[in-house]
Amino acid sequence: MGLLLAIVAILVVGKPGEPVQAAEKTYTVGTDVTFAPFEFTDKNNRQVGIDIDILKAIAKVEGFKLNIKATSFNGAVQELQAGQIDGVMAGMSITKERKEMFNFSDPYFKSGVVMAVAKNSKIKGFADLRGKRVAIKTGTAAGAYANSIKKKYGFTTVTFDDSNNVYQDVIAGNSAACFEDKPVIQYAIATGLDLRITKMKLADPNNYGIAVQKSDPEFLATLNRGLKKLRQTGEYDRIITRYLGNGSQKEQTEKAKAAGSTDHSFGTLLKQNWGTLMSGLQETLALTLVGIICATIVGVLMGLLGVVPSRWAQGTATTFIYLFRGLPLMVLALFIYTGVPMVIGTKIPAFVAGIITLTLNEGAYTAAFVKGGIGAVDKGQMEAARSLGLPWGRAMRRVILPQGIKIMIPSFINQFIITLKDTSILSILGLLELTQTGKIIIARNMQGFKIWAMVALIYLIIITLLTWLSNWVQRKVQA
């Protein structure tokens, strides 16, 4: 018996004197999707970039599993605040304000802010911006710098959640200029972005760092150890050179062009990104199907509650409909995903948060038309059923609901269409649905018009098919 226990102990713990292997830990790190060359997708739709490669290299030398979550910069910061992720690596400048909220790793890249304008613009410096509008990205150091000098130079700012929209606003002529980190805008211009950097000194020089929660010193120490090892082995320099070359504009242009195709025709872009777009559509349809099923269940229950002859029941249904129809979907999504976890102290997966958001919002609209559909049935029907001795519940189930459902069916299908479109707002949570995949593709090739045309076309085809289904069902019901 003693020998058997010894054998089991050796199998589980290991031989005497051997180190015990701890379970491999998994860290989730949030990153941006539109910040090349630090994070973007290559022509094979693989997530790459300076930040991505450094993170993977640190995970390898430090022996932990890495889960990289691509979202917006502002979304990643909010998720870290809410404890939904363990860190943020997205070209994040180390600032005094940010250090009050998070701990930062040792600096891994030195950058600074520059101003970019349209190629034919006559703007040369800050003084030429008086009375004009400047585009910036939400939550970035470049945006903070622009806001710090706008009063002095007399310009206004407009914010966007991703870099492509910042650049396109300047190209379209809506904004006179944009402020961006130098290596990022240089890389974008090298890939064909129709902007130019004004000949100005580097403003607001800063260091990039990896942000982690103050309550997680272990992860911070792991990151710093990993960074140190990468510098010692030369791997850090190899990663930087892989994307930026020797720092010259000529070599950077060559590197950027090598990362993507030079053929930007509509057909080529569609062929290159078909798999990514379809994976995004698959996520969109999954969100829609699960969301509409949950919303229908909740909506029908609340709608029925609204016609029960009870003030308490009707008041509950009315409050539910008023509250969740009144809240903007984006606000509700962010509240559930980043607000609630700060209160309950438990992470909520992005997909689950998205389903809860759709259930509450779409469920409120469903409850409203269920309540309205039942109310549209002639009141005399209920009176007749009750006069025949049927209890209220049986009268509702056998007489009122069959007639009300006929009225509601087209609304159910229309709500399905609305839910499908509303899933695009959930890209704010970093879910890789169709809209988010569009952003990821644009971050690499800067072909905003063509990619958004593809995304719009996919939505239009699906919605057209659902509209035809709705019309067919309506004809059958009314026949």
Would you write out the chain's pLDDT as a tens digit for each of its 479 residues? Answer: 444 344 334 344 444 444 433 457 899 999 987 788 898 877 777 788 999 999 999 999 999 999 998 887 888 888 898 888 999 999 898 988 899 999 999 999 998 899 999 999 999 999 999 999 999 998 888 899 999 999 999 999 999 888 888 998 999 899 999 999 888 888 888 877 889 999 777 777 889 999 999 999 999 999 999 999 999 999 999 999 888 876 555 555 555 555 555 556 788 888 878 888 898 899 999 999 999 999 989 988 898 888 888 889 889 999 999 999 889 999 999 899 888 888 887 888 889 999 999 999 999 998 888 887 776 666 766 666 667 767 766 766 666 666 666 666 777 778 888 888 889 888 888 788 888 888 878 777 767 788 889 999 999 999 888 888 877 877 776 66
* DSSP letter for each residue of 404-438: HHHHHHHHHHHHHHHHHHHGGGGGGGT--SHHHHH
Long-range contacts of 396-402 (CB under 8 A, 24+ apart): 396/304, 396/307, 400/374, 401/374
| Residues in Cβ contact with 114 at an 8 Å cutoff, skipping those fewer than 6 apart | 179, 180, 181, 182, 185, 197, 198, 200, 202, 203
> Are 117 and 134 within 8 A, CB to CB?
no
Q: How many alpha carbons lie under 13 Å from residue 140 in its C-beta half-sphere? A: 32
Count of CB atoms situated within 10 Å of the CB of 315: 12
Question: Strand 177-181 vs strand 203-208: parallel, antiparallel, or unpaired?
Answer: unpaired
Q: In what order do the strands lie in the sheet with 26-32?
A: 65-71, 26-32, 87-88, 211-213, 102-104
* Alpha carbons 90 and 70: distance in angstroms, whole number: 10
Nearest Cα to 77, choosing from 88, 93, 69, 66? 88
d(C-alpha 328, C-alpha 110), whole Å: 39
Query: Are 38 and 50 within 8 A, CB to CB?
Result: yes
Cα separation of 448 and 266, whole Å?
11
Could you report the per-residue pLDDT of 208-255, keeping only the tens digit for each? 999 999 999 999 999 999 999 999 999 999 999 888 876 555 555 555
C-alpha dihedral over 314, 315, 316, 317, to 10 degrees? Answer: 50
The angle, 0 to 180 degrees and rounded to 10, between the axes of the packed helices 448-478 and 266-305 is 40
The pLDDT, as a whole number, for residue 475 is 75
- The pair of structure tokens assigned to 473 is 């069902």
Q: What is the pLDDT of residue 252?
A: 55
- Helix ranges restricted to H, 234-346: 235-244, 249-259, 266-305, 311-326, 329-334, 340-344
Give strand pairing partners of 69.
30
Q: What's the Rg (C-alpha) of the chain?
A: 28
What residues does CATH 3.40.190.10 cover in the chain?
A: 22-108+209-259, 110-207
Residue 2 is predicted with a pLDDT of: 46
Is domain 110-207 given the CATH code 2.60.40.10 in the classification?
A: no
**Where does the chain hold its CATH 1.10.3720.10 domain(s)?**
266-478
26-32 vs 87-88, strand pairing mode? parallel
* pLDDT value of residue 121: 92
* Tokens matching residue 239: 């990663």
Other CB atoms within 10 A of residue 372 CB: 16
Task: Give the C-alpha separation, 230 to 109, whole Å.
Answer: 13
Number of other residues whose CB lies within 10 A of the CB of residue 455: 21
What is the separation of C-alpha 337 from the centre of its chain, rounded to a whole number of angstroms? 11
Q: Which two tokens stand for residue 85?
A: 């992720």
Tokens (6 digits) for 407: 């009225």
Q: What is the CATH number of domain 266-478?
A: 1.10.3720.10
From 182, 187, 223, 160, select the one nearest 93 (Cα to Cα): 182
- List, in order, residues 6 or more apart from 397 with CB less than 8 Å away: none
Of 339, 332, 352, 344, the closest CA to residue 431 belongs to 352
Name which of 190, 173, 311, 201 is nearest 250 in CA terms. 190
Total Cβ atoms within 10 A of residue 258: 10
- 375-405 per-residue burial string, b: 16 or more CB within 10 A, e: under 16: eebeeeebeebeeeebeeeebbeebbbeebe
CATH class of the 22-108+209-259 domain in this structure: alpha beta
Quick one: which of 43, 121, 18, 21 has its CA closest to 447?
43
